[in-house]
Amino acid sequence: MTRQELIAQIRIKKSFLCVGLDPDMEKIPKHLLVTEDPVFEFNKQVIDSTKEYCVAYKPNTAFYEALGVKGWTSLEKTSLYLRTHCPNHFSIADAKRGDIGNTSSMYAKAFLENMDFDAITVAPYMGEDSVVPFLGHKNKWVILLALTSNKGAFDFQILKSGDKTLFTKVLQTSMAWGNAENMMYVVGATKTEMLSEIRKIVPNHFLLVPGVGAQGGSLAEVVKYGMIEDCGLLINASRSIIYASSGTDFAKKAREEAKRMRDEMAALLR
Amino acid sequence: MTRQELIAQIRIKKSFLCVGLDPDMEKIPKHLLVTEDPVFEFNKQVIDSTKEYCVAYKPNTAFYEALGVKGWTSLEKTSLYLRTHCPNHFSIADAKRGDIGNTSSMYAKAFLENMDFDAITVAPYMGEDSVVPFLGHKNKWVILLALTSNKGAFDFQILKSGDKTLFTKVLQTSMAWGNAENMMYVVGATKTEMLSEIRKIVPNHFLLVPGVGAQGGSLAEVVKYGMIEDCGLLINASRSIIYASSGTDFAKKAREEAKRMRDEMAALLR
């Protein structure tokens, strides 16, 4: 998906919501456990009920890998379902991969070719040759970790080198590897006080923002400091939407929560 | 596997060789492509022919994921084969994972519980709560990326914060999360000039050292600056062993190359 296509969807739906598809067998509704593929059934119903209100979906690979071959099968089915039933939604493999060049190429094959996701999240620690293999795919995106939403972000990401933090260096250095048409950055909603600084460095890139919802970040704050003319934001919510109810009404409740967030976004969208 | 068990194996075999199981469908011998599971068949024959000369195996997950469900099946079969046929070999899932706490727990379940690997490689960028979930498993190990073997290591890992490089900070900070009985560090063989400095910080931890072989690092140099009383080194070679021949004699040639490296190691082991 191109940047212009993504922006068009945001304008049409008045939404910049990304729904995280993180199916945990201990949390998905009990009545689904008797189906052949509970994880895929759960995802399918969440997707069907929320797609009107969001512009992106983001399965996190950990939740699928924890289920072994069966989980990987569910992930492939989910990616195919997104491709066929939601061709106008931006799809993100939240995989946080990154390895030496020939190995990163293999990950790119897995997620951007075989499963045909629009984007993959990548960890920056191993530098340029670990990231570039993901950038050679037409209309595909790298979403590079910059400033994450968790407490551990303070261990290394804000270390100062000269007068610049590590995540600032990651932003500045990686901008030369791609551009605002094929790279985004992960910036946690729990760190909004740093968004103004980040926007000075990457005024035009989209930011994928986790941490609104279950992790406690504020949507209004993110918009205030992070929104640009082209919106430039994808706000992810996972648990607050997909686990809005643990009963047979989970899809309905997920839809209500997605709509609630969309309405909040519609009011904030400039 | 415990540290003492690993050290005992190193002494018995006079080897600290780790064989990387990175099966690339374009490189594995053509005659295997007609078998039901070429990747597993390749791994099985490599393992059977080299196990006398190495103490560890390290499948890199990228090569399996690039093949989808079939690849993940081959990875599970490989992990089971290692568990049942090589119980005295240290097994490493080279996955380079790392995510927020509840997500890292899912990766730990996938690799340290379900597939029962002894260790998993983890990327440090997201800090403590992304690493600690891997450390709660008895006799299991985290192998944290410190200074990697690729060119991109110079982008961020050697940035100075005060008088310390980022990888030095990673070593120092992470030492508080675990200990030399459940953590190792990845240090590339292409950066031997920094090994003395690293040994001052982590005098007792095992180091997993990629980059000898196809990437050009020197075994003698690694030993000179990195070996400790308990050996403290696992030297990985992947391509130089598993692709020593692309013909029907690949297992024999892999064995010869593993033996050659073991003999070199035996002479260097103090």
Render pLDDT for B233-246 as a digit per residue (tens, 0 to 9).
999 999 999 999 99
CA–CA separation, A145 and A126 (whole Å): 12
Chain A residue numbers touching B154 (CB-CB < 8 A) = 127
- Please answer yes or no on whether B173 and A160 come within 8 Å at the CB atom: no
Element of type H or E holding A68: helix A68-85
User: How far are the Cα atoms of A88, B6, B9, B140 from residue B89, in angstroms, in the given order?
Assistant: 48, 8, 8, 13
**Of residues B217, B163, B227, the one with CA closest to residue B192:** B217
CA–CA separation, A16 and A234 (whole Å): 5
Q: Which class in CATH covers the domain with range B3-268? A: alpha beta
The verdict on pTM exceeding 0.90 is yes
Measured CA angle at B173 (ends B170, B179), to 5 deg: 100
By the 10 Å C-beta count (0-12 exposed, 13-18 middle, 19+ buried), B226 is classed as buried
> Within a 10 A sphere around the Cβ of A16, how many other Cβ atoms?
30
Q: What is the pLDDT of residues B154-211, one digit of tens each?
A: 999 999 999 999 999 999 999 999 999 999 999 998 778 899 999 999 999 999 999 8
User: How far are the Cα atoms of A39, A106, A161 from residue B66, in angstroms, in the given order?
Assistant: 22, 5, 37
Contact B43, B78 (CB under 8 A): yes
Structure token digits, residue A208 = 């994928």
Give me the pLDDT at residue A258, please.
Answer: 98
By the 10 Å C-beta count (0-12 exposed, 13-18 middle, 19+ buried), A214 is classed as middle
Predicted interface score ipTM higher than 0.90: yes
- Please answer yes or no on whether A156 and B173 come within 8 Å at the CB atom: yes
Element of type H or E holding A157: none
pLDDT at B111 over 90: yes
pLDDT at B17 over 90: yes
Please report how the helices A250-268 and A38-50 are oriented relative to each other, as an axis angle in degrees rounded to 10: 40
Contact A254, A261 (CB under 8 A): no
- Please answer yes or no on whether A170 and B159 come within 8 Å at the CB atom: no
Q: How far is B169 from chain A (nearest CA, A)?
A: 8
Element of type H or E holding A50: helix A38-50
Tell the residue number behind the tokens 């696992």, with chain if given: B234
Residue type, A237: A
Give me the pLDDT at residue B4, please.
Answer: 98
pLDDT at B217 over 90: no
User: How far are the Cα atoms of A3, B86, B91, B237 from residue B260, in angstroms, in the given order?
Assistant: 53, 21, 21, 12
**Of residues A221, A224, A231, the one with CA closest to residue A90:** A231
Q: Which residue of B has its CA nearest to A121?
A: B99
Give me the pLDDT at residue A139, please.
Answer: 97
Structure token digits, residue B94 = 């080279």
CA–CA separation, B184 and B205 (whole Å): 6
Contact B176, B144 (CB under 8 A): no
Residue A189: pLDDT band (50, 70, 90) is confident
Mean pLDDT to the nearest integer, B115-141 = 97
Q: What is the pLDDT of residues A72-100, one digit of tens each?
A: 999 999 999 999 999 999 999 999 999 99
Give me the pLDDT at residue B202, please.
Answer: 97
Give me the pLDDT at residue A203, please.
Answer: 97
pLDDT at A214 over 90: no
- Please answer yes or no on whether B114 and A63 come within 8 Å at the CB atom: no
Contact A17, A259 (CB under 8 A): no
Structure token digits, residue A202 = 């990457």
The rounded Cα B168 to chain-centroid distance in angstroms is 20
Q: What is the pLDDT of residues A91-132, one digit of tens each?
A: 999 999 999 999 999 999 999 999 999 999 999 999 999 999
Give the HSE-up count for residue A245: Cα atoms under 13 Å, Cβ half-sphere: 15
pLDDT at B259 over 90: yes
Chain B residue numbers touching A63 (CB-CB < 8 A) = 103, 106
Give me the pLDDT at residue B193, please.
Answer: 83
**Beta strand pairing call for A164-165 and A160-161:** antiparallel
CA–CA separation, B233 and B242 (whole Å): 21
> Within a 10 A sphere around the Cβ of A62, how many other Cβ atoms?
25
CA–CA separation, B235 and B232 (whole Å): 10
Average pLDDT, chain B: 96
Neighbouring residues of A84: CB distance < 8 A, sequence distance ≥ 6? none
Mean pLDDT to the nearest integer, A249-268 = 98
Give me the pLDDT at residue B18, please.
Answer: 98
Chain B residue numbers touching A59 (CB-CB < 8 A) = none
Report the share of chain A in percent with pLDDT over 70. 100
CA dihedral B139, B145, B148, B152 (to 10 degrees): 150
Q: What is the pLDDT of residues B135-160, one digit of tens each?
A: 999 999 999 999 999 999 999 999 99
For residue B31, the 8-state DSSP code is G
Select the residue from A37, A94, A103, A142 to test the B interface by mutation, using most B Cβ atoms within 10 A.
A103
Average pLDDT, chain A: 96
- Please answer yes or no on whether B157 and A127 come within 8 Å at the CB atom: yes
B96 given a catalytic annotation: yes
Residues listed for chain B: 270
